[in-house]
């Protein structure tokens, strides 16, 4: 009887701790949302420039010379159809990372208000999750615009399927989590540019957004599959165009584990942050 009561009490404590963590995370997110809601249109449009250029240049331009069975699988009608899911992954990555990084840098380096967050009686993991949720929302707003363009161009409503949206949220969570860590680490905006040039831009072109990684030599496959964006691009492409029997189910746990690992790292960074 005593053991049962102890077990029941332990479960209640764990549930209470989880609820507190979730409530604190949403509180931190709400602080960011109060700033985001007055800039919804600029935020949603800020990540559209690159995807639109790529769609016009590669999908509608160069893509006319790339035929199914030659460079891309016969599962796709044309190259535009092939790259649209990758453009959604690319736009969500760019804004989730960049928006989160610059938001934290602005508070730390210019507004000098970041100390207020560090002094709040909130678990460091909740601080990270709250900031990460803000980055996810930023990424989803921009990705939503690209999804709308994809639906109009292809008439494919699988871009709004639950599986597609789950992968999209996980991709945003991974790069928003990375953005939190970078935002906590840099000492100047110039450093943010270095991270962008050496991490985000290479990922944009090597993350299977423009090509099928299965066609690469083995050595290059190793490099490509070390990039989280690859799993998002491959998964989103399959969710939009392929049957469930051909869906790469490994992409979901890989993105999920990556997001969790980055969250733990971010919580550690918050716990030891000194500004």
- For residue 81, pLDDT beyond 90: no
Tokens of 180: 């939190």
Is 4 a member of any domain?
Answer: no
E strands present in 143-239: none
- Enter the pTM of the model: 0.89
Is 16 a member of any domain?
Answer: no
Residue 63 domain boundaries? 22-271
Q: Residue 247 has what pLDDT?
A: 93
Is 32 a member of any domain?
Answer: yes
Quickly state the pLDDT bin for 69 (edges 50, 70, 90): low
Q: Which helix (H) or strand (E) holds 235?
A: helix 228-241
Is 128 a member of any domain?
Answer: yes
Over its C-alpha atoms, the chain yields an Rg (Å, rounded) of 20
| CA neighbor of 203 nearest in space, from 91, 116, 59 | 91
Is 156 a member of any domain?
Answer: yes
Is 214 a member of any domain?
Answer: yes
Q: Number of folded domains in the chain?
A: 1
Q: Is 105 exposed, middle or buried (0-12, 13-18, 19+ CB in 10 A)?
A: buried
E strands present in the chain: none
| CA neighbor of 105 nearest in space, from 43, 190, 184, 177 | 184
- Torsion of the alpha carbons at 203, 132, 100 and 52, rounded to the nearest 10: 50
Express each pLDDT in 87-140 by its tens digit: 999 999 999 998 899 888 888 877 777 777 877 888 889 999 999 999 999 999
Is 170 a member of any domain?
Answer: yes
- For residue 32, pLDDT beyond 90: no
Is 149 a member of any domain?
Answer: yes
Buried-state track 157-166, b at ≥16 Cβ within 10 A, e below 16? ebbeeebbbe
- For residue 9, pLDDT beyond 60: no
Which contacts (CB < 8 Å, 24+ apart) does range 126-129 have? Answer: 126/21, 126/24, 126/25, 126/27, 126/28, 127/24, 127/28, 127/267, 127/270, 128/177, 128/180, 128/263, 128/266, 128/267, 128/269, 128/270, 129/21, 129/25, 129/28, 129/263
- For residue 143, pLDDT beyond 70: yes
More confident residue, 63 or 138: 138
Express each pLDDT in 163-199 by its tens digit: 999 999 999 999 999 999 999 988 877 788 888 888 8
Q: Residue 177 has what pLDDT?
A: 95
């Amino acid at each position: 009887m005593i053991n049962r009561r102890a077990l029941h009490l332990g479960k209640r404590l764990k549930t209470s701790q989880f609820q507190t963590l979730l409530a604190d995370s949403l509180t931190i997110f709400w602080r960011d949302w109060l700033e985001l809601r007055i800039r919804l249109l600029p935020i949603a449009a800020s990540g559209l420039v690159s995807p639109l250029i790529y769609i016009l240049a590669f999908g509608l331009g160069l893509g006319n010379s790339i035929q199914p069975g030659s460079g891309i699988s016969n599962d796709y009608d044309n190259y535009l159809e092939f790259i649209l899911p990758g453009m959604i992954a690319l736009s969500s990555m760019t804004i989730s990372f960049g928006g989160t990084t610059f938001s934290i840098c602005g508070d730390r380096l210019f507004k000098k208000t970041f100390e207020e967050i560090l002094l709040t009686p909130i678990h460091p993991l909740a601080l990270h999750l709250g900031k990460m949720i803000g980055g996810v929302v930023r990424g989803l707003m921009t990705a939503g615009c690209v999804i709308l363009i994809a639906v109009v161009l292809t008439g494919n409503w699988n871009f709004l399927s639950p599986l597609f949206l789950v992968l999209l949220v996980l991709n945003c969570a991974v790069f928003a989590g990375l953005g939190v860590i970078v935002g906590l680490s840099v000492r100047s905006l110039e450093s943010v540019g270095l991270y962008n040039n050496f991490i985000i831009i290479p990922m944009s072109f090597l993350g299977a957004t423009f090509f099928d990684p299965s066609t690469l030599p083995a050595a290059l496959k190793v490099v490509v599959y070390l990039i989280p964006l690859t799993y998002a691009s491959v998964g989103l492409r399959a969710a939009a165009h392929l049957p469930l029997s051909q869906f790469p189910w490994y992409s979901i746990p890989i993105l999920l584990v990556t997001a969790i690992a980055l969250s733990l790292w971010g919580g550690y960074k918050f716990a030891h942050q000194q500004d």
